[in-house]
Amino acid sequence: MSDSPLIASLLAALEGRPEDAVLRLHLAELLLEAGRGQEAIVHIGFILSRDPADAKALALMQRSLGGPPQGDPLAAYERELSDIVPPRFAAGERAEPVEGDADRIYDVEVPGVRLADVGGMVEVKKRLELAFLGPLRNPELRKLYGKSLRGGLLLYGPPGCGKTFLARAVAGELKAKFLSLSIVDVLDMWIGNSERNLHEMFEAARRNAPCVLFLDEIDALGHKRAQLASSSMRTLSNQLLAELDGIDGNNEGVFVLAATNTPWDVDGALRRPGRLDRIALVLPPDAPARAAILEYHLRERPIAGIDLARLTAETAEFSGADLAHLCESAAEFAMADSIERGEVRMIEQRDFERALKDVRPSTGPWFATARNVALFANEGGAYDELVTYLKRRRLL
């Protein structure tokens, strides 16, 4: 019966009706009778992820686990979900290749995410709308006011709060290509090659305009030149300034976004008008954003009795990365308990309570350093937004 025509027919029918729980349950029963328990677990797990209280599915799960486990049912379950359940954030598709050495070396892509996919960050989105998005959507007004499409914005804040994801979302919102640059893409052991690599990256962005060029960890590439002991790094910083000014090419349609955790280490020349002349603070997610992030990371996991409001309240100052780690830790506790007891159970509130004892917000050390900068190094009001936030949180 392992090659039953009925099972084959049901599998074919399921491809056109993946959400049909009754069909899946019937198929799971037949698979169990045919001795194909691991395949049955995949379909039962899919149903339980949608309805953890489904009595028939729970009974079938216990029945399927009655014998010795074979293979990795959790991995099979995840593979099945990835085939059937579309991700909330669509994967970026590759852009058409453009002629030129830089485009063959570096990845130029078209992100599938939009600003609507970014939770919270209301003030940052307003800044982006003013600097880039508004002028692009209104070409006549842009022409009337003489607004150029070139410019730069520096994103700063604690690590793990979504600066890179936000940059991809901006490219998706602009329907522009996206090119990410980091220090490892540029540095070379031979004299002059690092500057050439940097120039080729900017040339690739210019050929693919409109393009968002994302400079990750800009403090490594554009560190304060007065503190650099290496003459080669000072030369590289000078090359970056020249590229931002468009001396060797027209930067029209190239939107430069840079990110750093330590803006106080970035060379002041990078912040002058026409370069990275705008700055935006990317803070840990607020309560609605934390709830959305938790829901996203639990969307394909079997859960039951989770108090989302309580979790949201208990995770103040958690970064997006911290919240992902919290969900992963809770899932580990539930899985370890399932292995020990010999029966599968849902991820419950008690697992998150255990995880919260181990997972702490990683943003604390950053705010301790930022507090000193806000107190003693806020020349010209560059960190007024940070000062306002620290006062609101009673950290200043």
This prediction's pTM: 0.70
Q: Are residues 162 and 274 in the same domain?
A: yes
CB atoms within 10 A of CB 28: 28
pLDDT, greater one: 169 or 65: 169
Cross-strand bridge partners of residue 214? 180, 257
Question: Domain check: are 173 and 314 in the same one?
Answer: no
Of 355, 154, 389, 388, which is closest to residue 286 (Cα–Cα)?
A: 389
Q: Residue 379: which residues within 8 A CB-CB, separation 6 or more?
A: none
247 and 320 in one domain? no
Q: Using an 8 Å Cβ cutoff, are 267 and 227 in contact?
A: no
Residue 126 has pLDDT above 70, yes or no: yes
Confidence class for position 323, pLDDT limits 50, 70, 90: very high
Residues 140 and 267 in one domain: yes
Together in a domain, 230 and 105 = yes
* pLDDT value at residue 150: 67
110 and 181 inside one domain: yes
CA 24, CA 16: separation in Å to the nearest integer?
Answer: 12
What's the CA gap between 222 and 363, in Å, rounded? Answer: 24
Two tokens at 56?
Answer: 């028939």
Residues linked to residue 279 through DSSP beta bridges, in sequence order? 154
Question: Residues 73-115: pLDDT tens digits?
Answer: 444 444 443 443 333 333 344 444 444 544 545 678 888 888 8
What mean pLDDT value characterizes the chain?
A: 81
User: Residue 28's pLDDT is what?
Assistant: 82
Give the model's confidence band at 65: pLDDT under 50 very low, under 70 low, under 90 confident, else very high: low
- Final residue of a structural domain among 266, 281, 296: 281
Q: Indicate if 204 and 125 belong to the same structural domain.
A: yes
**Do both 273 and 291 map to the same domain?**
no
- Asked if residue 316 has pLDDT above 80, the reply is yes
Residue 260 lies in a domain: yes
Sheet holding 278-281, edge to edge: 93-94, 108-110, 177-181, 211-215, 254-260, 151-156, 278-281
Residues 72 and 211 in one domain: no
Residue 373 lies in a domain: no
Boundary of a domain, candidates 84, 105, 124 = 84
Tell me which residue range forms the domain holding 102. Answer: 93-281
Residue 234 vs residue 354, higher pLDDT: 354
Q: Could you tell me the CATH number of the domain that includes residue 52?
A: 1.25.40.10
Radius of gyration of the chain (CA): 26
Token pair belonging to 364: 């604390």
Q: Confidence class of residue 315 from pLDDT cuts 50, 70 and 90?
A: very high
Q: What is the pLDDT of residues 244-277, one digit of tens each?
A: 888 767 888 888 999 999 999 998 888 888 888 8
Q: How many domains does the chain have?
A: 3
Instruction: List, as own/partner pairs, every contact residues 309-314 make where C-beta atoms lie below 8 angstroms and the sequence separation is at least 24, other chains included.
Output: 310/349, 311/352, 312/287, 313/287, 314/356
3 state SS of 88: coil
Kindly state whether residues 183 and 44 are assigned to the same domain.
no
Q: Tell me the pLDDT tens digit for each residue of 163-221.
A: 988 889 988 888 889 999 888 888 888 888 889 999 998 999 899 888 889 999 999 88
Q: Which of 127-131, 148-152, 234-238 has the lowest mean pLDDT?
A: 148-152
Q: Which two tokens stand for residue 63?
A: 């029945």
Residue 372 lies in a domain: no
Q: Is residue 351 part of a domain?
A: yes
314 and 207 assigned to the same domain: no
Query: How far is 382 from 94, CA to CA, in rounded Å?
Result: 37
The DSSP symbol for 266 reads: B
Return the CATH number at 340: 1.10.8.60
- Beta-bridged to residue 158, according to DSSP, are none
Encode 217-249: b = buried (16+ Cβ within 10 Å), e = exposed: bbbbbbbebeeeeeeebebbbebbbebbeeeee
The verdict on 266 and 293 lying in the same domain is no
Domain boundary (255, 281, 307) is at 281
Beta bridge partners of 54: none
Least confident of 19-23, 186-190, 299-303, 322-326: 19-23
Q: What span, in angstroms and rounded, lies between the C-alpha atoms of 183 and 223?
A: 11
